[in-house]
Structure 1
Amino acid sequence: MNTKQKIALVTGASSGIGEATAQQLALAGYRVYGTSRRGGQVAQRAFQMLALDVTQDASVDAAVRQLIQLEGRIDLLVNNAGFGVAAAAAEESSMAQAQAIFDTNFFGMVRMTRAVVPHMRRQKSGRIINIGSVLGFLPMPYMALYSATKHAVAGYSESLDHELRTQGIRVSVVEPAYINTPFDANQVPPDAPLDVYREIRAGVEKRVKEVLVGADGPGVVADTVLQAAAATQPKLRYAPGLARRMRLLRRFAPASVLDAGVRKDLRLAA
């Protein structure tokens, strides 16, 4: 058992925010284990990879059990694994697709939390950081399902933090805005597209791609995760980069002004 370094487990660490976060934590002195469905170690990474599919109970339990056997403890869990549906009207995703995105983005986080928390309770310490999204407090049209999963992540995180404080465990949610990563390039298309939305969908996709060109890279999220992990008194919510301004707008701007601003930014008719 390693007694000198804190042990971190980061899901969805093969690319994007997860990879940047795992790398940043490793550079900060954590002993980091990243996960992906395929696992495997890749050169130039400062952390090890475990095979883990967050949609499968047995896979989650096996990976956590393996890590406990290797290290004896888990000090930090970063729930990052997730995927999105490319710009699509809510009715353009089948029930199967809707359930799939919740199974990864929300229930995957729940599975990981259920597997890790008993070990953190026994050691009477731990941090859980869930990667949410600005869409978890400011929903975006044509991203209804993804927005819904991130609202669920935020609500779950807040409830969980209240529950676990007495056990020496704190929970935070990091809610970035647009981040330029392979995640955005690899979103799945809607599986029940309707012609009535075709032109609007194409316009929203074009606008999102334009914004992503100048968006922050995943390092801004990784820095915020490290900040939350190291904080003596961690905040419940962190909004890195552009998301800070969006949170202020959500809090203080009149609803009608914010509504008009969202539609104008996405080039949607009033």
Structure 2
Amino acid sequence: MNKTNPGVAIVTGASSGIGLATAKALQNAGFRVFGTSRRAVSEKSDGITMLTCDVTDDASVAKLVDEVLAEAGRIDLLVNNAGMGLLGGAEESSTAQARALFEVNVFGVIRMVNAVLPAMRRQGGGRIVNLSSVQGFIPAPYFALYSSTKHAVEGYSESLDHELRPFGIRVVLVEPAYTRTSFEDNLARPDQLLDIYDAARAGMTTAVRKAMEKGDAPEVVANTVLAAATDPTPKRRYAAGKMARQVSLLRRFVPASAFDKSLRKQLGLPV
């Protein structure tokens, strides 16, 4: 593909927030974009074709990829954006709830990747952009399970990139910090609440709400995804926004003890 015709893109979780902003940015850049959502939405919006897909279901993912290939003939870019969050003490979630979170955030990514790879190999190239988070490389108190899914996506993506390079396929990560979306309103709550965590959980909920209000617009992340999707010499990771870049630098260069102290102070936790 080329700059005037960059190709065909699939963006999961494209009905709102980062996914919708990403779909629009890619469409404006010349991509033919297929967005997905779990529930049916308007079939076409601003040139973006919307299809239903549940990333936790093998048959649904296979059907989506078949539909895109039947209509467009190829898949040049996959943006794995669909995901869910969970706020609470780690021990407040049952293993069933933890498994459900991994089913979306990790296995959903794996399903989508496995489904598009045969087409990308036949084409001799492609790009996969996986949405991670700063919580994919730093500790995240009261987001331990969510953070662990993003750590998993980071390890999977970096390893997979090495496997796929011989086929002309690259895998990259985009790491946002707080972004002004409905993420905070849609956070899942633990399924076995413990009184001992009530105060900390409430405090963290307030901290997240305030951080989201000051966070980046979804378009900031979308533009980073576009850069990651079109960079001729892609990097492994792309920090999305000022805060994400700052956190990434601090994590790399600040001593662990100092980073730990700063993190706890920022989150209002006893130092």
SS at the partner of 1:182? coil
- 2:123 paired residue number: 123
Relative to the length of structure 2, the TM-score reads: 0.96
Distance 1:243 1:138 in 2: 11
Distance 1:196 1:175 in 2: 32
Distance 2:213 2:6 in 1: 37
- 2:60 paired residue number: 59
SS at the partner of 1:184? coil
Distance 1:263 1:46 in 2: 45
Flag the 1:89–1:247 CA change in 2: closer, same or farther, 3 A: same
Flag the 1:186–1:165 CA change in 2: closer, same or farther, 3 A: same
Cα offset for 1:109? 0.2
Relative to the length of structure 1, the TM-score reads: 0.96
Distance 1:266 1:149 in 2: 21
- 2:164 paired residue number: 164
Distance 1:56 1:153 in 2: 18
Distance 2:167 2:149 in 1: 27
- 1:146 paired residue number: 146
Calculate percent identity across the aligned residue pairs: 57
Distance 1:4 1:200 in 2: 50
Any idea what the Cα deviations from partners look like across 1:145-173, whole Å, max 9, x if unmatched? 00000000000000111011110101100
RMSD of aligned residue pairs (Cα, Å): 1.3
Distance 2:68 2:44 in 1: 21
- 1:50 paired residue number: 51
SS at the partner of 1:141? coil
Q: Alignment length, in residue pairs?
A: 267
1:110 to 2:115 alignment: no
- 1:12 paired residue number: 13
- 1:37 paired residue number: 38
- 2:223 paired residue number: 223
Cα offset for 1:190? 1.0
Cα offset for 1:240? 1.3
- 1:83-98 alignment runs, 5 A limit: 83-86=84-87, 88-98=88-98
CA contact (8 A) 2:85 2:187 kept: yes
SS at the partner of 2:240? coil
- 1:248 paired residue number: 249
Distance 2:102 2:224 in 1: 25
Q: Which runs of at least 4 in structure 1 moved beyond 4 Å after TM superposition?
A: none
Cα offset for 1:39? 3.1
